[in-house]
Amino acid sequence: MSRGADPRFTLEVAGMTCDDCAHHVTGALAGAGAREVAVDWRAGRARFSLPQGVREQPLRAAVEAAGYRPGVLARADGLAAPPDAGTDFDLLVVGSGSAAFAAAIRAAEGGLHVAMVERGTLGGTCVNVGCVPSKALLRATETLWAAGHHPFAGVPTSAAAPDLGAMVSQKDELVAELRSAKYEDLVADYGFEVISGHAQFTGPGELQVAGRTLTARAFLVATGASPTVLSINGLEEGGFLTSTTALQLTSVPGRLAVIGSSAIGLELGQLFLHLGSRVTFIDVAERVAPLEEPEAAARLAELLQEEGAHVLAPAEVLEVAATPTGKVLTLRHDAGEEKLEVDQILVAIGRSPDTAGLGLELAGVEVDRRGAVMVDSHLRTSNARVFAAGDVTGGPQFVYVAAYEGQLAVGNALLGDDREVDLLGLPRVTFTSPQLASAGITEAQARAQGREVRTTVMPLSAVPRALVNRDTRGLVKLVAEAGSGRLLGATVLADGAGDVISAAVLAIRHGITTAELAATLHPYLTMAEGLKLAAQTFTRDVGRLSCCAA
């Protein structure tokens, strides 16, 4: 098909039961501007072409007016419809991570003409320097640690010295493969344009990129975030690692200080601990994992110490000095001041929004004191034509939240949606070993909201799967509304906790009570059974029940 031909689309249509239904839908779509309409009521699908200027919402409205339910609209020929007159594109996306791609795909499926601007490597943080590479190395080091420390009688326990260079090389191969399959290849599949260069707003409705001035009906800022750097005397001169550069090391540091003990610091700290580093975790908060339930955080700290780590929390780094043999940190904690000599320092105190140099002030887009783009519940900025999604907004920094927000922002900006961000039951996982996973709100958060709650903390020794695994290092905590019993929050510290927590997410989102959770069938000898058992502890002593007792 030539570039000037009308693009072809498919639209799922529910409620059709006969040929007459197909005729009604055909007439509705044609009346809304579609051409060459063909409707298959058995398949529940309509195929048609769209002339320039015909948009998704009138088509949907026409189908609904005819008495049927429109579903997903998808492009059938790989080409995007041209933008409205007067602009270069319908949508310009700044960034190329999960929020950016989710937005571009949703827009392309809606027949919009889309361009994405990227100044660096396509794919953003997750696939290149975040989730994928870190979890690949974490899994490798978990396997190494288990080979030398497993609890099973009769099974040889042995682990040779690791080859970190080979592990990093394999990790890099996986990153390249997924970047190609999940990002680069999709550009052609969905037919949007990628423009290389630094994007800068020059006004409320235009961007300048590599000498080009580009206009669009709507803009999406999805530039993500970068590791936050601490202002500590001597740190810059002494040198330090970030979550990005730590994943590039090919030799194991003998002594490692990890400043920050939330998810990234805990994961990477334990990674090097399992490789043989002597690791010290340092945090200004009262405990590691300070945003999680205190019972789970305390148990995780114990586990890290049992594996050989040193935990200092609360503690403050006053200064860093380089020496011929490494670096010396001056620390202040409850016991006074202390000198700590290490080979490497990993700074993992969080990530800061990437908004510098975007010219947001020229577009009338407001940012907060951290530089995060300020958005409303629809992800619209102070400029009605500019939306923002993902880490750049300063919200929860999870790749799945970024993707969710990206497609939601485009729907609100250009496809006639009116949806608010809804993060009820939001899951979060720290990929330590064992994993620490949570959903919903903590007990402290619930009480801060003025809620009366009931809680239970069940040791993992009550879960048969943990006994079979010979690994009872963990717990399950549930937070429920006192009157209704509705589940508000859940925390699981266990092997596979990240998979278990999905059930808690659904329970929270759908208002399930702990009594209903306790009465729900869970397969025996799975870690997920821990949720049922924990729910039962609100009314029963699960230690006095037989296996699978309801």
pLDDT in tens, 277-305: 999 999 999 999 999 999 999 999 999 99
Residues in the chain: 550
Q: Tell me the pLDDT tens digit for each residue of 57-113.
A: 889 999 999 999 998 787 664 444 445 557 899 999 999 999 999 999 999 998 899
Q: Give residue 76's pLDDT.
A: 62
Q: Tell me the pLDDT tens digit for each residue of 452-504.
A: 999 999 999 999 999 999 999 999 999 999 999 999 999 999 999 999 999 99
Distance in angstroms (rounded) separating the CA atoms of residues 394 and 178? 26
Q: What average pLDDT does this structure show over 246-273?
A: 97
Q: Give residue 51's pLDDT.
A: 85
Q: Give residue 79's pLDDT.
A: 40
Catalytic site residue from 16, 116, 458, 527: 16
Q: Give residue 287's pLDDT.
A: 96
Q: Give residue 382's pLDDT.
A: 96
Q: Give residue 83's pLDDT.
A: 55
Closest C-alpha among 475, 477, 404 to residue 446: 477
Parallel/antiparallel/unpaired status of strands 427-430 and 435-440: antiparallel
Task: Look up residue 230 and give its two tokens.
Answer: 């601490």
Q: How many percent of the chain have pLDDT more than 70?
A: 97
pLDDT band per the 50, 70, 90 thresholds, residue 415: confident
Sequential DSSP letters for 168-226: HHHHHHHHHHHHIIIIIHHHHHHT-EEEES-EEEEETTEEEETTEEEEEEEEEE---EE
Catalytic site residue from 1, 374, 524, 548: 548
Residue 77 per-residue DSSP state? S
Tell me: cis bond preceding 324? Omega within 30 of 0 counts. no
Q: Catalytic annotation on 547? A: yes
Q: Catalytic annotation on 190? A: no
Q: Catalytic annotation on 18? A: yes
Task: Look up residue 424 and give its two tokens.
Answer: 């009820």
Residue 244 per-residue DSSP state? T
Q: What average pLDDT does this structure show over 119-128?
A: 94
Distance in angstroms (rounded) separating the CA atoms of residues 256 and 166? 21
Q: Which helix (H) or strand (E) holds 14?
A: strand 8-14
Closest C-alpha among 77, 62, 14, 74 to residue 42: 14
pLDDT over 90 at 397, yes or no: yes
Q: How many percent of the chain have pLDDT more than 90?
A: 84
Tell me: cis bond preceding 133? Omega within 30 of 0 counts. no
Catalytic site residue from 21, 116, 458, 527: 21
pLDDT over 50 at 2, yes or no: no
Distance in angstroms (rounded) separating the CA atoms of residues 547 and 550? 9
Q: Give residue 40's pLDDT.
A: 87
pLDDT over 50 at 1, yes or no: no
Sequential DSSP letters for 248-306: G--S--SEEEEE--SHHHHHHHHHHHHHT-EEEEE-SSSSSSTTS-HHHHHHHHHHHHH
Amino acid letter for position 424 = L
Q: Give residue 398's pLDDT.
A: 97
Structural contact between residues 297 and 288, judged by C-beta atoms closer than 8 angstroms: yes
Q: Catalytic annotation on 527? A: no
Structural contact between residues 253 and 277, judged by C-beta atoms closer than 8 angstroms: yes
Catalytic site residue from 1, 18, 374, 524: 18
**370 vs 49: which has the higher pLDDT:** 370
Closest C-alpha among 417, 9, 496, 49 to residue 218: 417
Task: Look up residue 59 and give its two tokens.
Answer: 């088509």
**515 vs 50: which has the higher pLDDT:** 515
Catalytic site residue from 68, 183, 190, 404: 68
Task: Look up residue 409 and give its two tokens.
Answer: 């922002």
Q: Catalytic annotation on 131? A: yes
Closest C-alpha among 203, 136, 126 to residue 363: 203
pLDDT over 90 at 45, yes or no: no
Q: Catalytic annotation on 21? A: yes
Mean pLDDT, rounded, of the chain: 93
**Complete domains list, the chain, with CATH:** 8-75 (3.30.70.100), 89-139+164-226+352-414 (3.50.50.60), 235-344 (3.50.50.60), 427-544 (3.30.390.30)
Q: What average pLDDT does this structure show over 542-547?
A: 83
Q: Tell me the pLDDT tens digit for each residue of 324-364.
A: 999 999 999 998 999 999 999 999 999 999 999 999 999 99
Q: Tell me the pLDDT tens digit for each residue of 400-411.
A: 999 999 999 999
Q: Catalytic annotation on 548? A: yes
Q: Give residue 308's pLDDT.
A: 97
Catalytic site residue from 126, 404, 458, 527: 126
Q: What average pLDDT does this structure show over 10-38?
A: 92
What sign for the dihedral angle of Cα 18, 20, 21, 22?
A: positive
pLDDT band per the 50, 70, 90 thresholds, residue 231: very high
Among 54-58, 256-260, 323-327, where is mean pLDDT lowest? 54-58
Structural contact between residues 334 and 316, judged by C-beta atoms closer than 8 angstroms: no
pLDDT over 80 at 52, yes or no: no
